[in-house]
Amino acid sequence: MQHLVSEFSAVLLRDLDKLAAEIRLFEQEENLWKTKGHTSNSAGNLCLHLVGNLNTYIGAILGGSGYVRDRDAEFSLRNIPKEKLLEQIEEVKRTVASTLERLSADDLQKPYPQQVLGYEMTVSYFLIHLYGHLNYHLGQINYLRRILE
């Protein structure tokens, strides 16, 4: 089971690297803050949302980091420099890694401390949810980058 903790960490960190790569691939920085068609969130806002989400649910709740989320700002802030977004991704990677390395296999089977989805779930279940959430928005970012550039 301890191996499972390492696997959760590995896939989250791998895909946070993919998030950073997607952000770097934006050739025109202003495109980070644009939408197209019926999309409602820009790649920059989705990036802020993913960072805030992981800082909250892994860093603050599982790790006791003290992070305080401003979810509204994740969707309302604009024109944050690409380098600042990349720094935030690196910071959340460190938070995810340090928090998950402190989890035991037994911790994965404990109830997640909050009922975020409206029902009780284990820590491992919620980590799977967070991984899916990261990838859902990562796909949106990739799509926006390709249609805007």
How distant, in Å, are the alpha carbons of 47, 77, 109, 127 from that of 143?
13, 21, 35, 24
pLDDT of residue 142: 98
Q: Are 105 and 5 in contact (CB under 8 A)?
A: yes
Q: How far apart are CA 41 and CA 34, in angstroms?
A: 8
Question: pLDDT at position 2, please?
Answer: 65
- The pLDDT of residue 149: 96
| Residue 122, beta-bridge partner list | 111
For the packed helices 43-54 and 2-25, what is the interaxial angle rounded to 10 degrees? 160
How confident is the model over 72-125, as pLDDT tens digits? 999 999 999 999 999 999 999 999 999 999 999 999 999 999 999 999 999 999
Domain span including residue 131: 2-148
Among residues 85, 23, 91, the alpha carbon closest in space to that of 55 is found at 91
Euclidean distance between CA atoms 59 and 69, whole angstroms: 11
What pLDDT sits at residue 1? 57
pLDDT band at 3 (very low <50, low <70, confident <90, very high): confident
Q: Residue 121 has what pLDDT?
A: 97
CATH number for the domain spanning 103: value is: 1.20.120.450
Cβ atoms of 100 and 5 closer than 8 Å: yes
Q: What is the pLDDT of residues 21-69, one digit of tens each?
A: 999 999 999 999 999 999 999 999 999 999 999 999 999 999 999 999 9
Residue 135: in which H helix or E strand, if any? helix 123-148
As a whole number, the mean pLDDT across the chain is: 97
Residue at 91: amino acid letter: E
Beta bridge partners of 111: 122
Between CA 9 and CA 149 the distance in angstroms is 32
Mean pLDDT across the stretch 120-138? 98
Output the pTM of the full model: 0.96
In total, how many domains does the chain have? 1
